[in-house]
Structure 1
Amino acid sequence: YLEKVQTNLKKPVGMILVTGPTGSGKTTTLYSMLEILNTPKINISTVEDPIEYRMPRINQTQVNSKIGFTFASGLRSLVRQDPDVIMVGEIRDNETAGLAINAALTGHLVLSTLHTTSAAGAIPRLIDMKAKPFLIASTLNSVIAQRLVRKLCNDKNKYTFKKEELKNISKFCNLNRILKILKEEKLAKPKQKFEDIVFYRPKPNKRCSEGYKGRIGIYEILPISEDIKKLITKGATSDEIQSHAQKQGMKTMIEDGFVKAAQGITSIEEVLRVIIE
């Protein structure tokens, strides 16, 4: 995942979006990207609401609705100052969406967030905000969707799934595809079935009252390949974009969650909780 993100950060122009509900760690992901880009040679400017972390060498500005300083007006003045990288805390309205796409078209790298449930869902959302599909296709570099799951404590219970439980889980995901991914990641042996794979449950104790401590992200990264660009220009639905991206090897959030659950980092219950919410 990190390699894909870093490849996209090396592109000098375009737009990278991070999507997810409130409190899913989107801003932290944006700051991590700025941290990678933050060298003395690169001019980085932000418009945020509020500024959550102060960062050296970065020109950070905070939205102030009382004086009419919004994401849109902030973005307008930033573009005139010729930054290399622009971070906009959130694309909330049509005007900000249009300005962000315009900034990406005129030689800037734009990083921002959107409220959508999946990576592919960002595209119809931008179209709802009156962005033209061919402009989205030519500016978008990638979309990252994420959720935060709780991490299991070191002391945890091992278990395997029963057939009935798997039947229930299969309503939310493609178990055959997940099994294939687990085998590719060497988390399952070539001939193992789903019922043979060991997963983990929380084991509440004095140190970890609920059996969990800390949180970790589960992600899906939609790279905007030539095929995906054609689909966007055609006005394809998010489902069509997602299924095409999966054929090209994109792992969905739930699949990334299953990988982290098989590694013993989190539990399947946690993964399903944050995806279904």
Structure 2
Amino acid sequence: MRGDAVTPSRPVDTPAPAPKRQRPASDPKVLRLIPAEFASRHLVLPLRRTGRTLSVAMADPSDAALIDDLQFLTQFEIDAVGVGEHTLRQRIDRSYEAATTRGSGRAEEAAGAPPVEADSAEASEEPAVRLIDDILADAVRRGASDIHFEPYESELRVRYRLDGRLREILRPPFRLAAALTSRLKILADLNIAERRIPQDGRIRMPVADRVIDFRVSTLPTLFGEKVVLRILDRDRQAFDLEAFGMEARAERALLAAIAQTSGMVLVTGPTGSGKTTTLYSALARLNTPEANIMTAEDPVEYSIEGINQVQIRPKIGLTFATTLRAFLRQDPNILMVGEIRDRETGGIAVKAALTGHLVLSTLHTNDAASTATRLVDMGIEAFNVAVAVKVITAQRLVGRICPDCRVETSYAPEILSSVGLEAGRRGQGAFYRGAGCDSCDGSGYSGRQGLYEVLPMSPAIRRLVLAGASSEEIERRAVKEGMITLRQDGFAKAGMGIATLEDVLRETPA
């Protein structure tokens, strides 16, 4: 039944029957047919289901396009019921809040049938287009870094990664999974007929008043394809090293290293710790008309005007090592290697750093001190490592406490003592957390904050590397020379009310 065939059962401004007669909150399964996010945005509330018909309260029951969307979303015929906007908004909030309190956690699979395979025509239908557009726009508005579309046996779950944490946003009916996945694959120029192997693509589309890039990854799972979108919003990402919140000495050491014309600057940390942002920020500072800057990346996350960026493609032989060799024949000044993964890549990068080029790259190590020993363990000569490397930065990301709901919290002295803190010392007696408010959607967080450990390659550190010293010995010497460790930087930011003590302890090595 299409929207233009729907006859409203009541005028728009006529109040609906009292909630106790329509019982909008009595059956969580009916409520779950329309996700709370969709209901709040479009002012609709499912009331009851009779056979293949779903009664829905609407602020404007003559909105044929919205009725079409509801039919596609729920797979039911829609009986539109007019309700005043103010009353409807209150009932939506009250009904979904009550359902959440009762723990209604599973979406109903409306007809009990398995999902259908969606073709390009179905994926291009207006309701699928609008729902995907709504989700992408909402994720960008909230500042999410990733969107997850996850099919399970009888439901589809959509989650955002907000401030480093995954949060469930809505659960559309499972029968929509194939259509929504196909829509995303069409936008990313992927093969919608291929569901057996992972695929990677990219979407560029206008959202609000700007153009946003989305990196798309599909993965075949037991109940369908999971799709993850990484949001690459250049307008929200400030590539400015001096805005990172580094300790003053650490910032000076890093800036001094990238100001040199040769040598190697390394950034280390786990996946998702902000290494790429640090490298891009360094490149933004170095990007002048006099410099020939070349990058080898997998993948290229942001396009930067004035920099020659190469997407690594191992399947056709375009590896980090082969790309680096080609770079050296291109008269470069500055090279950025997305990651040193093996001896060959590391050896070429070190050689380039020793022959008049500034080289920036990343590794996966726990801290700064273990990075030098990792390169030696790869088979790169200790002498070359000691001479080429100028500075090593280790980093982590933690949630930034929401300033609008920040409250003081305290810990027992024995707890502080167990992690090396003394309650009586200045800056270590009080800590903070976010209580949750409207500004942060109740999460207690607003953005993310980096923790940094910057190790300059001093003469004493070089001697230790040449002598084959352990990472523990290198760290002890670096701390003696004034290096602030990741955990120490975290404690300082916790004391300033920027991060929680729990997050610092979880994310930093002891």
Cα distance, 1:75 vs. partner?
0.3
- Aligned to 2:366, which of 117, 121, 124? 117
Which structure has the higher relative contact order (CA within 8 Å, separation 6+)?
Answer: 1
Q: Give me the TM-score of the superposition, normalised by structure 2.
A: 0.49
Looking at structure 2, the residues matched to 43 and 211 of structure 1 have their Cα atoms a distance apart, in angstroms, of: 44
Cα distance, 1:227 vs. partner?
0.4
Q: Give me the TM-score of the superposition, normalised by structure 1.
A: 0.90
Q: Match for residue 127 of structure 1?
A: 376
Looking at structure 2, the residues matched to 276 and 218 of structure 1 have their Cα atoms a distance apart, in angstroms, of: 12
Pairing 1:1-277 to 2, within 5 Å after superposition: 1-154=250-403, 155-170=405-420, 175=421, 192-193=424-425, 197-208=429-440, 209-276=442-509
- How many residues get paired? 259
Structure 1 residues 196 and 249: CA distance shift in structure 2, 3 A: closer
Looking at structure 2, the residues matched to 99 and 28 of structure 1 have their Cα atoms a distance apart, in angstroms, of: 23
Max Rg structure: 2
Post-superposition CA distance 1:221-268 (Å, at most 9, x none): 000000000000001100000000000000001111111111111111
Structure 1 residues 234 and 276: CA distance shift in structure 2, 3 A: closer
Cα distance, 1:202 vs. partner?
2.2
Task: Give unmatched runs, 5+ long, in structure 1.
Answer: 180-191
Given residue 351 of structure 2, which amino acid in structure 1 is its aligned partner? N
Contact 1:137 1:233 in 2 (8 A): yes
Contact 1:76 1:99 in 2 (8 A): yes
Post-superposition CA distance 1:204-228 (Å, at most 9, x none): 2333222112101000000000000
Post-superposition CA distance 1:180-209 (Å, at most 9, x none): xxxxxxxxxxxx536962211221233322
Contact 2:487 2:509 in 1 (8 A): no
Looking at structure 1, the residues matched to 443 and 373 of structure 2 have their Cα atoms a distance apart, in angstroms, of: 39
Structure 1 residues 196 and 35: CA distance shift in structure 2, 3 A: closer
Given residue 411 of structure 2, which amino acid in structure 1 is its aligned partner? F
Given residue 129 of structure 1, which amino acid in structure 2 is its aligned partner? M
SS at match of 2:487: helix
Q: CA RMSD in A?
A: 1.6
Given residue 231 of structure 1, which amino acid in structure 2 is its aligned partner? L
* Identity of matched residues, %: 49
Looking at structure 2, the residues matched to 263 and 195 of structure 1 have their Cα atoms a distance apart, in angstroms, of: 7
Cα distance, 1:3 vs. partner?
2.0
| Further displaced range: 150-159 or 202-211 | 202-211
Looking at structure 2, the residues matched to 205 and 120 of structure 1 have their Cα atoms a distance apart, in angstroms, of: 40
Contact 1:202 1:211 in 2 (8 A): yes
Task: Give unmatched runs, 5+ long, in structure 2.
Answer: 1-249
Contact 1:120 1:241 in 2 (8 A): yes
Cα distance, 1:117 vs. partner?
0.5
SS at match of 2:369: coil
Q: Which has the higher helix share?
A: 1
